[in-house]
Amino acid sequence: MPTIAMSKTAPTMRVADRLRRGINALREAPLLAVLILTGLIVVAVFADVIAPYDPTLPVQGAKFFAPPFWMEGGSLHTPLGTDFQARDVLSRLIFGARVSLLVGLMGTLVAGGLGTALGILSGYLGGWVDQVVMRFTDAWLALPALVFAIFLATMVGPSMWNIVIILGSVYWTRYARVIRGEVLSLREREFVKLAEIAGASKWRVIIRHILPNVMNTTMVLASLTVGVVIIAEASLSFLGVGVPPPKPAWGLMLSEARPTLMAGQWWLTVFPGACIVLIVLATQLFGDWLRVRLDPQLRNL
């Protein structure tokens, strides 16, 4: 694992070298996953340009519940059909990618930041800090994550940013556990001991010596959390405690499709779900690759 070796022995490696190394590494990444992810990111970023219609307004002159274009009664103006308010399904899916990716990434960022910080503090400082953090971790882990998230979301009220905070504050526990374990062994290592003897303050040791060495693990965990967070957001939106309407979130689209599922309007249920599967599948594939590459010890996670 050249990346690990380099980051430990030569922290002053030139930025350009690091960048080149990163790009070379990405070349070996699973093509399918990278393609799907890049595609979705492009779609999410340029949703305003790509989407044919406004996702929140009915399409002028379109029927309610128009089926996809290849079916009888479908039209190429609304290629994937329309919903109960005659809104264009394709445009809603495109804007939904933005919500999913944003919540997935930001939620993971909050969870990863919180969990890594607490894990480092717990592992490095030890003593009562360790006890307090770990008992809170245990308590958090005692509730099924989704039940906890539903509970918090109901209490706080629906908005996209609330969901980010909620999912972040539910999914930090795994980071805290794993990172603490790593820090426990790191703090016994010579380079940490030497830094302490040389008079480095606690904060300096944490930021200069501990943090860079747990970043790989945080990255691997993050790649695995993104998918979980995206599904959790969809679940919350589906239950009506997530992203509020009329914002086009995939979970919300599934929820709106439920009353008419019995009438056989399958496109309203199948397409948003397929999008969720696609994005989570891609992050999982990417995560698997990253895990094997960055840290073989984490293979069993």
* Contact set with another protein (CB under 8 A): 135-136, 138-139, 142-144, 146-148, 150-152, 154-156, 227, 231, 234-235, 238-239, 241, 254, 257-258, 261-262, 264, 266, 269-270, 273, 276-277, 280-281, 284-285, 300
Comparison of 65 and 151: residue with beta carbon closer to another protein:
151
For 301, the 3-state DSSP assignment is: coil
Q: How far is the CB of 5 from another protein (least distance, A)?
A: 27
Q: At its nearest, how many Å lie between another protein and the CB of residue 162?
A: 11
Least gap, CB of 238 to another protein (angstroms): 6
Cβ proximity to another protein: between 83 and 209 the closer is 83
Integer Cα distance of 250 and 238 in angstroms: 8
* Rg of the chain taking only CA atoms, in angstroms: 23
CB of 175 to another protein, least distance (A): 18
Q: Which is nearer to another protein, 155 or 194 (CB)?
A: 155
Nearer to another protein, 199 or 264 (CB): 264
Give the side-chain half-sphere CA count within 13 A for 125.
17
Residue 42 to residues 32, 48, 97, 166, Cα–Cα distance (Å): 15, 11, 10, 27
121, burial (CB in 10 Å: exposed 0-12, middle 13-18, buried 19+) = buried
Q: Which is nearer to another protein, 175 or 271 (CB)?
A: 271
* Helix ranges, the chain (H): 2-9, 15-27, 31-45, 47-50, 89-125, 127-141, 145-156, 160-170, 173-186, 190-197, 202-204, 211-239, 250-257, 267-294
Residue located via tokens 């979301």 = 153
Do 103 and 164 meet the contact criterion of CB atoms below 8 Å apart? yes
Comparison of 186 and 231: residue with beta carbon closer to another protein: 231
CB of 98 to another protein, least distance (A): 19
Give the shortest CB-264-to-another protein separation in angstroms.
Answer: 5
Place of tokens 């094997």: 292
